Chains A and B, each alone.
Chain A
Amino acid sequence: MRAGRTLVAAALGVVAFVVLWEGYKVVGNPDGTVLLGVRILPRADDLSMPHLYDIVARLGRPELTGGRPVWIVVLDAAGFTLGITAVGFGVGALVGLLLAVAMQRFRIVERGLLPYVILSQTVPLVALAPLVAGWSGRLSFGPYPWQDWMTVAVIAAYLAFFPVAVGMLRGLQSPPAAGVELMNSYAAGWWRTLVKLRLPASLPYLFPALRLAGAAAVVGAVVGEISTGTRGGIGRLIIEYSREATSDPAKVYTAMLGAAILGLVVAGLVGLLELPLMRHRRRVEVATL
């Protein structure tokens, strides 16, 4: 039922978007609307806002004269970024999980670390992207040189670990005192209590957090690719195409579409993870700050 509702919502959204877009092109000023010297409404001409069917058509035509069709290029790039996102997501989720378990186990770790965990997202440390990018080509893990895509994965992991850490911590702390006392009465140690009580109890908190982490990993990967100039990913593609916006306005939108699809695919994959484990269970969204 929920899936059905989501599909209806998405379909309605797409329809509404098409209506708004083309509608604005019909009524909007081709030069945009300027108020007090500041342009508050965008240009409605075909150069800035190509017709939607133009964008779709552009997907089918070649990227450069005699190159591969755009949609293949975009899909390729999206796939590349998907790989990096997956690595970043995996690492970030793992780190978040371990942190959560450590913080639940030792109250002093929670008290010392949690403020920094929260702070790490309060501050735009994504601004570090160009700096972490500087590591590439000069650091190495033994035989493996540090590669560009690793930087991007680190950035994605950095954004992904936080929702998992916070959500998982709340989840691990969620069982009522009565449940913990019950386990104590069975002389179950900390580990058994973790495995049999806290972990199952934390699932309703974990999965919404994983969904947020997935979205964050995508953003981290895209921004990271742009800062590091990593070739082959969708971030780089967006920048490249946007440079050609004056000559080929529809191309940059196709790249955007690729990024959007990437986001949806990641959300879908995380949703799939949930299916076997969360049947018959409610979900709890934890405010992440």
Chain B
Amino acid sequence: MRWVRSVGPPILLGILVIVAWELTVKLGRIAPFIVPAPSAIWREFVEQRGNVWQAALASGVNALIGLIGGTVVGVLAAMTASRFRPLSEVSVPFAAVLNALPIIALAPILNNMFESTSSVPRWIVTGIIVFFPIFVNTLRGLREVDPTHRELMQSYAASGWTFARKVRLPGALPFVFTGLRQASSLAVIAAVVAEYFGGLQNGLGSRITSAASFTAYPRAWAFVVGACLLGLAFYLSTLLLERLAMPWKSRLIT
């Protein structure tokens, strides 16, 4: 019964919005270039589902590679930075400064550095965008150690490495997942948007722009829906991974 209260309002709102959308477009006779009717989008989506799937797969693979690469580098960098205090003091403001820059603008340059048919630029851009939330959050998790845990391990005369393995890393896991949740959706966005800048055009981004340039707006929106679903899939997978990796978080308190 409780889940109805939490899931009910958003579902209700979603249904209302879609119905209102459909009615406004049909009755207001709004041209498709402004916003197509949900029914038209659905029709195109069903018709194009093969293409949507292919494009989503391509973008999804790019996002995944960028996500994994960025996460690995981010975690390693955070582990290194947490080892040496002056390094971690310097790296946090540094990461903040770098994060203010529009990373996506690197895409055209990377396309130049590699061939135009390479997927590597997209992976690099995605990886860099993923790096920051992972690095910042993991670093925070590694630095915040419960003082009681620290004294306890001291009383056991545990070595620095043992302490890192048994206390720091498991304790940092919730923080890593906070970063991962942000990073997973950023990865999809980056992989899709990176295509706007040229390079290999086999993913969702290029399909959206090409459909729009042919003024086939319902089709363009169908691909957008595909991108939304891809982003959602990544986010939910991260939640699932979180559940699996941290079983102690999900149990209810009896």
Contacts and interface: CB of A to CB of B under 8 A. Distances in A.
A and B touch in the complex (CB under 8 A): yes
Interface of A: 2, 5-6, 8-10, 12-13, 32, 38-40, 42-43, 48-49, 108, 111-116, 119, 121-131, 133-135, 138-139, 211, 214-215, 218-219, 222-223, 226-227, 234-235, 238-239, 242, 245, 249, 252-253, 256, 259-260, 262-264, 266-267, 287-289
Interface in B2-35: 5-6, 8-10, 12-14, 31, 33-34
Nearest to B31: A138
Contacts of A267: 96-97, 100
A239 B137 CA distance: 33
Contacts of B33: 134-135, 138
Contacts of A262: 102
Given A108-B9, A122-B185, A131 B224 contact: yes
14 contacts: A43-B114, A112-B13, A124-B185, A124-B188, A130-B208, A134-B215, A134-B217, A211-B96, A222-B105, A242-B198, A259-B102, A259-B105, A264-B101, A287-B137
Contacts of A245: 108, 112
A43 B102 contact: no
B111 interface: yes
Contacts of B104: 219, 222-223
Given A135-B34, A223-B104, A2 B93 contact: yes
Interface residues of B, number: 69
Contact of B10 (A112, A139, A253): A112
B178 interface: yes
Nearest to B190: A124
A108 B12 CA distance: 11
A139 B137 contact: no
Contacts of A222: 102, 104-105
Contacts of B12: 112
Interface SS of chain B: helix
Interface string B203-241: 011001100110101001101100111111011000000
A111 B4 CA distance: 11
A257 to B, nearest CB: 10
Contact of B118 (A39, A133, A214): A39
A266 B99 CA distance: 12
B114 A42 contact: yes
B212 A223 contact: no
B112 A242 contact: yes
B114 A226 contact: no
A39 B105 contact: no
Given A39-B120, A135-B33, A287-B178, A263 B224 contact: no
Contact of A252 (B112, B221, B227, B231): B112
3 closest cross-chain pairs (CB), A and B: A42-B113, A112-B9, A242-B108
Given A127-B224, A242-B111, A289-B182, A259 B34 contact: no
A34 to B, nearest CB: 10
B84 interface: no
Contacts of B152: none
B105 A227 contact: no
Given A9-B94, A139-B34, A123 B101 contact: no
B81 to A, nearest CB: 12
Interface in B87-146: 89-91, 93-94, 96-106, 108-115, 118, 120, 137
Given A13-B94, A135-B33, A223-B104, A130 B212 contact: yes
B79 interface: no
Contacts of A263: 100-102
B163 interface: no
